[in-house]
Amino acid sequence: MNELKRVVLFLPARRGLRGRVTIPGDKSVSHRAVLLGAVNDGPLTVHNFLASADTEATVAAVRALGVRVDVENGSDLRVYGEGWEGLREPEDVINVGNAGTLIRLAPGLVASCPFLCVFTGDASIRRRPMRRILEPLARMGADVAGRGGDSLPPFAIRGGKLVGLHHELGVASAQVKSCLLLAGLRAEGETTVVEPAATRDHTERMIAFAGGQVRREPAAGGAWSVSLRPVERLRLRDIRVPGDFSSAAFFIVAALLVPSSEVVVEDVGLNPTRTGLLDVLVRMGADLEVEMTDQSGPEPIGRVTARSSLLRATEVAPDEVPNVIDELPLFLLAAARAEGVSRLWGARELRAKESDRLASMAALLGGLGIAVKETDDGMEVVGNPGGWSGGRLESLGDHRIAMVGAVAGVASSEGVWVEDADCVAVSFPTFNAVLEQLGGETA
Ligand code: S3P
């Protein structure tokens, strides 16, 4: 029997979007806090943990590895790590659902453990490239085997004694870098990952916060080299997860596109390896204010104010892509309302996300009547400052595409229908409630 998928109509926000909101915890930081907490020396409290399908899959995975995790006071987690020695062989396959970060990071965590772990996920996960983690983990000393000649899930890892490696990433990816750094924490000697462009550095910050030594140096041609040595113990006690910038971004862009809007997002993560969208939007003429409010923890936290703006076209080139990777669909939507022709290139990686996001965005924008030219690694968008009337979007179960469709709806004159709108629960189960708090309406 087919599952019933809910279709939601996101109506135009005729009176503007106005108000002050906080956004649930950062997905990337929540995943990492639970994974590092699972091998920490003693209990770790994770404040403002994101409750979502993806991050709950990470809690289930570490429980399957024998780690106790309790939920306290609603949004705090207590993870009872006892070092790597506390991990046990899971009794069953670990199914990550739709969580790409989990299926790329957890193998690094268990690569030194002398037992078998089998990983799989939903249909989208089973299409995502895994050779990029399995091949270097095998070179470090783990036994690996996966579908499609060790390139796709399901795959199995039998951990072993690891040696550090020097690895150059073919594609800039924080997930692959993090996987190898987690394995490097238990490998003999130094592990170095060279990334062609800087990617999000939450793993490095959290390891340093736990007492590990991570070295980060510029390398030739804009690349970065990240190195670490093994640690005896990780000493984490409390982590405060900031609001998720990638989730906040939907309301920031919505405020720019909808007339008479002013949206203030409080307590949002402002890690500079995540906020590239703000630079892109400022180039487009966006009325934005950014203030840091707390720099005491590993992740900077602050406030972003966004007001309705007339936008002009811009270009996003390959060196900027990793820093805006999850917000590129929103950039393309903003480009659809800007004066002039915007261009994105060097972003082929978007085709290997929860959906093929270049194809998904070409379909969404085309359906709104915007002229686009999809290329192998990007898109050209001919902006129409006059906007669009409305349309219907197939989200393909991709949470970020569904939320871009919702923003397109509130910024339209007649509304946008989003199919399978409940998939937002992958990263942002309260998306509709926050939108309504700001004056958005659904039907
Ligand atoms: C993530 C890294 C990015 C991003 C994903 C989360 C992470 O993936 O798209 O949503 O938490 O490390 P890649 O590093 O593979 O580009």
DSSP state string for 190-219: -EEEEESS----HHHHHHHHTT--EEEEE-
How many angstroms separate the alpha carbon of residue 169 from the centre of ligand 1? Answer: 14
Q: Say if ligand 1 is within 6 A of residue 178 CB.
A: yes
Identify the pLDDT of residue 335: 98
pLDDT for 180-235, tens place per residue?
Answer: 999 999 999 999 999 999 999 999 999 999 999 999 999 998 899 999 999 999 99
Q: Which is catalytic among the residues 326, 398, 420, 422?
A: 326
pLDDT for 271-286, tens place per residue?
Answer: 999 999 999 999 999 9
In this model, does residue 69 exceed pLDDT 60? yes
Record the tokens describing residue 73, joined without a space. Answer: 């006071």
CB atoms within 10 A of CB 404: 30
CB atoms within 10 A of CB 169: 19
How many angstroms separate the alpha carbon of residue 104 from the centre of ligand 1? Answer: 9
pTM tops 0.85, yes or no: yes
Identify the pLDDT of residue 1: 40
- CA 178 to ligand 1: nearest atom: 12
- Of 400, 407, 408, give the one whose Cα is nearest residue 427: 400
Q: Say if ligand 1 is within 6 A of residue 174 CB.
A: yes
How many angstroms separate the alpha carbon of residue 101 from the centre of ligand 1? Answer: 6
d(CA 197, CA 106): 23
pLDDT for 145-183, tens place per residue?
Answer: 999 999 999 999 999 999 999 999 999 999 999 999 999
In this model, does residue 115 exceed pLDDT 70? yes
Q: Say if ligand 1 is within 6 A of residue 54 CB.
A: no
Q: Say if ligand 1 is within 6 A of residue 199 CB.
A: yes
Record the tokens describing residue 426, joined without a space. Answer: 């992958």
Q: Say if ligand 1 is within 6 A of residue 48 CB.
A: no
**Would you call 319 helix, strand, or coil by DSSP?**
helix
Tell me if domain 7-25+243-442 and domain 27-240 are identical in fold. yes
- The fold adopted by the segment(s) 7-25+243-442 is UDP-n-acetylglucosamine1-carboxyvinyl-transferase; Chain (3.65.10)
Identify the pLDDT of residue 3: 65
Q: What are the domain boundaries of the chain?
A: 7-25+243-442, 27-240
Q: What is the DSSP string of 348-374?
A: GGGGGSSS-HHHHHHHHHHHTT-EEEE
Q: Say if ligand 1 is within 6 A of residue 314 CB.
A: no
Specify whether 326 is catalytic.
Answer: yes
The yes/no answer on whether domain 27-240 falls in CATH 2.40.390.10 is: no
Q: What b/e readout covers 360-389, taking b as 16+ CB neighbours within 10 angstroms? A: bbbbbbebbebebebeebbbbbbbeeebbe
How many angstroms separate the alpha carbon of residue 329 from the centre of ligand 1? Answer: 14
